[in-house]
Amino acid sequence: MSLTRRPRVVTPFVLVLAGTALLAQNAQQNAADAERLIKALDIHAGSVVGEIGAGDGALTMTMAKAVGSAGRVFSNELNTQRLDEVGKRAANAGITNVTLVEGKEAETNFPDQCCDAIFMRNVYHHFEDPAAMNASLWKALRPGGRLAVMDFGPPPGAESDTPAGRSKDGHHGITPPTLERELKAAGFETVSSTEIERRVFMVVARRPRIPEARLPLWRGRPGGSLTRLAAIR
């Protein structure tokens, strides 16, 4: 197995997300969340899936197994140490259909129209420029592709007036209506909004379809090796 490395993209935002991109989850919660995501995003063998803010890589590993050797998972993380750990975790498990992507604060760094589906967990409320990130998510999804955002709400009545305040004490989180409004502004269509438990929810949105003849289809090589992407310019 080979691991392709390119120069790292390091931003100050790494310090913000270093320990908070994903809240700690146990194995049971990971399994439940993966099941929800696989169903909501119609993930199956051969799918190309992206994760934003992969954290320890638990969901990336599950998705890599779900899409199989004909599929691929783009695993995005700002924290480069965590990204290294995701790569090691995949290598130790013999998983070769994962592409490690060094993210930026307002870009996925995924190839254009590479993904059938993209998801993130407890990450969206950290975006200080959600409009730019949502535009990048749009570009990375194929027309008809789905986006799932799992996140949590702030204390009742305490939602921040600005994106920069969503990760601050007393205002931590985002509400589904705000999230749906921002995704709609980027051109997404809301598919569903589901409360998982108190203050925890999942919003699923979709990039509208265009005629298939206009699609520049991207697919990774089946059975390819674990790879790593730096910035896509």
The model scores a pTM over 0.85: no
Q: Is 139 exposed, middle or buried (0-12, 13-18, 19+ CB in 10 A)?
A: middle
| pLDDT value of residue 13 | 35
Residues 193-225: tens digit of each pLDDT: 999 999 999 999 999 997 544 445 555 544 455
Distance CA 52, CA 124 (A): 9
CATH number of 13-209+224-229: 3.40.50.150
| pLDDT value of residue 113 | 97
What distances in angstroms separate CA 57 from CA 39, 66, 99, 138, 147, one per listed residue? 19, 14, 12, 23, 18
* Single-letter amino acid code for the residue at 160: S
Residues 27-42: tens digit of each pLDDT: 999 999 999 999 999 9
pLDDT at 119 over 60: yes
- Average pLDDT score, the chain: 86
Q: Which two tokens stand for residue 37?
A: 């995501």
